[in-house]
């Protein structure tokens, strides 16, 4: 790639690697423990893997699953699959063989790239498994001709990501090269930049999730920065990594900041920090203020979806970061709050978030159903309210709305009320059937360490803070709540158990 080529907008996500390599081949691209790969070395590995995939007879549009932990191999495999014009299917490594088997079968995957330790997860599928040691690392050690020119791009599907959903089987969201690259371009126009070339970005969020994949790894490649990889999140170990690697940017989720806020060395460990962002779930305001007091840094919350590649809003676009606010739409994203009839809500009223932008997906696998409408608008299923400044606050999900005797109950409001109980560490609320009111509110409560709240305690506490129809009539005390890979409470599993 020439210098002139490097400034041409990329059509294929893998061109971010070749563009970074053309600009600074000797600069560290990825650091994982004792292993460091420069942008030039990463480009060589990606090109070699892409050539190997093409040589296997795989053709444009075929799905190649990635069953790999966070690490250099994942990045090589991901960009290599895209370079070859294929569709990457990142798989959740915490899933069971049955869950993995469903996604491999439903997607019609042609090949699985797996590490030795994870290959067994594909055992319930007949899809061919290639061990990453003999495939993805070949380019890093040289040898063979590489594929330097990317195949496909733009409106071709780049990634197929299965969303957990709230009920039923997961659905595969089809994200094109255009959508992924558009979201990176949108984020790059924010001031201060989410990731700059001189940054060292902590990549600890799962790369099989769109947040870690595009907002983390993709943004690092887009800026030509350096990614500091961690295979899993351990509060003490990861905080030490932030300090030793002089991390300047953290792309994180609430459980990370909650855990760090309780450690004594946070101010020293985050001394190199330039910017910290959080997404996937609300971050407790107490944690925000604790980190601000101890480090002098705001944690900027944002909001997005798998279907939007993923970022839609961020507090970085607000004049002031407000606790609990997801900020304002990022450049290039249009956002409206609509009522059930599709009309814009009155000022101060909650409404469903409906968005339009180049970063939207092209629908669900395989036929594109459920994508943006004819005018490009997509209903997110999330409810928000805007304050007088135009800053957004999530209220809840439309599909999680509880109807008690015809009255709307937003689980988030009930959860916020119960979370104030001194003996409650975590709470999740769902609707369950009721013979007289249609639905009623049920709360799952995790006690604080050493505390023994009763269901009656919780109900009484809520009754002093909520209208009667919003109060839980059933409370279950549990030792833990099910969570997704990035810390969001998996309410679908709670509904199944209920």
pLDDT number for residue 137 = 55
Q: Which two three-digit tokens encode residue 259?
A: 């855990």
Whether 106 is covered by a domain: the verdict is yes
Model's pTM, two decimal places?
0.86
pLDDT number for residue 164 = 61
Work out how many domains the chain is built from and give that number. Answer: 2
Q: Which residues of 288-317 are buried (b: 16+ CB within 10 A; e: fewer)?
A: bebbeeebebbbbbbbbbbbbbbbbbbbbb
CA–CA separation, 59 vs 45, rounded Å?
Answer: 20
Per-residue pLDDT band for 28 (boundaries 50, 70, 90) equals: very high
Q: pLDDT of 140-192, one tens digit each? A: 333 457 999 999 999 999 999 998 644 456 899 999 999 999 999 999 999 98
495 has a pLDDT exceeding 90: no
Contact between residue 199 and residue 222 where contact means Cβ atoms under 8 Å apart = no
Minimum mean pLDDT range among 31-35, 112-116, 170-174, 397-401 = 397-401
Rg (CA), the chain: 23
138 has a pLDDT exceeding 80: no
Whether 326 is covered by a domain: the verdict is no
365 has a pLDDT exceeding 70: yes
Angle between helical axes of 235-244 and 254-261 (0-180°, round to 10):
90
How confident is the model over 209-226, as a mean pLDDT? 97
455 has a pLDDT exceeding 90: yes
CA–CA separation, 18 vs 39, rounded Å?
Answer: 8
pLDDT number for residue 144 = 52
pLDDT number for residue 168 = 52
Burial of 398 (0-12, 13-18, 19+ CB in 10 A): middle
C-alpha to C-alpha distances, 434 to 437, 440, 442, 458, 467, nearest whole angstrom: 6, 6, 11, 20, 18
Whether 178 is covered by a domain: the verdict is yes
321 has a pLDDT exceeding 60: yes
Whether 382 is covered by a domain: the verdict is no
Helix, strand, or coil (residue 150): coil
How confident is the model over 476-493, as a mean pLDDT? 89
pLDDT number for residue 5 = 43
Write down which residue in 133, 166, 188 finishes a domain: 188
Contact between residue 269 and residue 238 where contact means Cβ atoms under 8 Å apart = no
Whether 250 is covered by a domain: the verdict is no
How confident is the model over 419-448, as a mean pLDDT? 93
Whether 209 is covered by a domain: the verdict is no
How confident is the model over 395-412, as a mean pLDDT? 83
pLDDT number for residue 7 = 63
Highest-confidence segment of 160-164, 340-344, 421-425: 421-425
CA–CA separation, 472 vs 418, rounded Å?
Answer: 10
Sign for the CA dihedral angle at 405, 411, 417, 419 comes to positive
Per-residue pLDDT band for 139 (boundaries 50, 70, 90) equals: very low
CA–CA separation, 468 vs 465, rounded Å?
Answer: 9
pLDDT number for residue 155 = 98
Contact between residue 300 and residue 308 where contact means Cβ atoms under 8 Å apart = no
- Residue 154, sorted as left (phi over 0), alpha (psi -120 to 50) or beta, turns out to be left
Report the candidate in 406, 461, 476 with the shortest Cα–Cα distance to residue 434. Answer: 406
Question: How many C-beta atoms surround the C-beta of residue 141 within 10 A?
Answer: 10
Helix, strand, or coil (residue 78): helix
Domain that holds residue 456: 401-497
Helix, strand, or coil (residue 75): helix
DSSP for 301-359, please give it. EEEE-GGGSSEEEEGGGSSS--TT--BEEPTT-EEEEE-TTSPBPPTT--EEEEEESTT
Higher pLDDT, 487 or 231: 231
Q: pLDDT of 71-124, one tens digit each? A: 999 999 999 999 999 999 999 998 889 889 999 999 999 999 999 999 999 999
4 has a pLDDT exceeding 50: no
State how far Cα 145 lies from the chain centre: 35
CA–CA separation, 456 vs 454, rounded Å?
Answer: 5
pLDDT number for residue 173 = 97
The strand pair at 63-67 and 111-114 is best described as parallel
Per-residue pLDDT band for 357 (boundaries 50, 70, 90) equals: very high
Q: Which two three-digit tokens encode residue 172?
A: 């595969």
DSSP for 396-414, please give it. EEGGG-EEETTEEE-HHHH
Whether 125 is covered by a domain: the verdict is yes
In this structure, what is the dihedral angle of CA atoms 393, 397, 403, 406, given to the nearest 10 degrees? Answer: 60
Write down which residue in 158, 188, 218 finishes a domain: 188
461 has a pLDDT exceeding 90: yes
| CATH code of the domain containing 129 | 3.40.50.980
Report the candidate in 108, 107, 50, 102 with the shortest Cα–Cα distance to residue 79. Answer: 50
The strand pair at 111-114 and 128-131 is best described as parallel
Q: Which two three-digit tokens encode residue 293?
A: 């007091």
CA–CA separation, 82 vs 90, rounded Å?
Answer: 12
pLDDT number for residue 143 = 43
488 has a pLDDT exceeding 70: yes
134 has a pLDDT exceeding 90: no
pLDDT number for residue 420 = 94
- For the chain, the average pLDDT equals 91
The strand pair at 392-397 and 378-386 is best described as antiparallel
Whether 10 is covered by a domain: the verdict is yes
How confident is the model over 452-457, as a mean pLDDT? 96
Write down which residue in 188, 215, 247 finishes a domain: 188
* % residues pLDDT > 90 (the chain): 78
232 has a pLDDT exceeding 80: yes
CA–CA separation, 470 vs 365, rounded Å?
Answer: 37
Per-residue pLDDT band for 6 (boundaries 50, 70, 90) equals: very low
Contact between residue 276 and residue 261 where contact means Cβ atoms under 8 Å apart = no
How confident is the model over 379-393, as a mean pLDDT? 95
332 has a pLDDT exceeding 60: yes
pLDDT number for residue 135 = 47
| CATH code of the domain containing 414 | 3.30.300.30
pLDDT number for residue 206 = 93
pLDDT number for residue 142 = 38
How confident is the model over 439-449, as a mean pLDDT? 96
């Amino acid at each position: 790639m020439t210098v002139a080529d490097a400034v041409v907008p990329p059509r294929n996500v893998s061109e971010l690697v070749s563009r970074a390599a053309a600009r600074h081949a000797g600069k560290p691209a990825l650091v994982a423990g004792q292993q460091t790969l420069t942008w030039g070395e990463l480009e060589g590995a990606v090109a070699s893997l892409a050539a190997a995939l093409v040589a296997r007879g795989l053709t444009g549009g075929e799905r190649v699953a990635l069953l790999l932990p966070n690490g250099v191999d994942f990045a090589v495999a991901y960009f290599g699959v895209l370079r070859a014009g294929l569709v990457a299917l990142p798989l959740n490594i915490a899933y069971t063989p049955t869950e993995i088997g469903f996604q491999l079968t439903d997607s019609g995957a042609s090949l699985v790239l797996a590490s030795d330790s994870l290959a067994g997860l594909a055992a319930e599928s007949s899809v061919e498994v290639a061990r990453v040691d003999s495939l993805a690392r070949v380019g890093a050690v040289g040898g063979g001709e590489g594929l330097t020119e990317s195949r496909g791009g733009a409106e071709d599907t780049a990634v197929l990501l299965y969303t957990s959903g709230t009920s039923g089987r997961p659905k595969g969201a089809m994200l094109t090269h255009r959508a992924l690259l558009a979201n990176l371009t949108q984020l790059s126009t924010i001031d201060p930049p989410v990731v700059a070339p001189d940054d060292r970005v902590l990549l600890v969020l799962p790369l099989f999730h769109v947040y870690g994949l595009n907002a983390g790894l993709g943004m690092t490649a887009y800026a030509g920065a350096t990614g500091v990889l961690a295979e899993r999140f351990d509060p003490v170990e990861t905080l030490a990594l932030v300090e030793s690697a002089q991390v300047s940017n953290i792309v994180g989720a609430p459980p990370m900041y909650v855990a760090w806020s309780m450690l004594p060395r946070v101010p020293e460990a985050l001394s190199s920090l330039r910017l910290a962002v959080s997404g996937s779930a609300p971050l407790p305001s107490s944690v925000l203020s604790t980190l601000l007091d101890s480090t002098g840094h705001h944690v900027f919350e944002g909001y997005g979806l798998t279907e939007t590649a993923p970022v839609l809003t961020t507090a970085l676009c607000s004049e002031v970061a407000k606790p609990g606010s997801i900020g304002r739409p990022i450049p290039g994203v249009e956002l409206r709050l609509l009522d059930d009839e599709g009309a814009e809500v009155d000022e101060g009223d909650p409404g469903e978030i409906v968005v339009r932008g180049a970063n939207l997906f092209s629908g669900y696998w395989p036929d594109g159903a459920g994508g943006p409408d004819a005018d490009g608008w997509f209903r997110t299923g999330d409810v928000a309210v805007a304050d007088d400044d135009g800053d957004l606050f999530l209220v809840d999900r439309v599909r999680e709305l509880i109807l008690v005797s015809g009255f709307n109950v937003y689980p988030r409001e009930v959860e916020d009320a119960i979370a104030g109980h001194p003996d409650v560490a975590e709470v999740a609320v769902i609707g369950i059937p009721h013979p007289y009111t249609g639905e009623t509110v049920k709360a799952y409560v995790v006690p604080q360490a050493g505390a023994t709240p009763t269901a009656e305690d919780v109900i009484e506490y809520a009754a002093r803070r909520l209208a009667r129809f919003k109060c839980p009539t059933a409370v279950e005390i549990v030792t833990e709540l099910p969570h997704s890979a990035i810390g969001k409470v998996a309410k679908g599993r709670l509904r199944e158990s209920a």
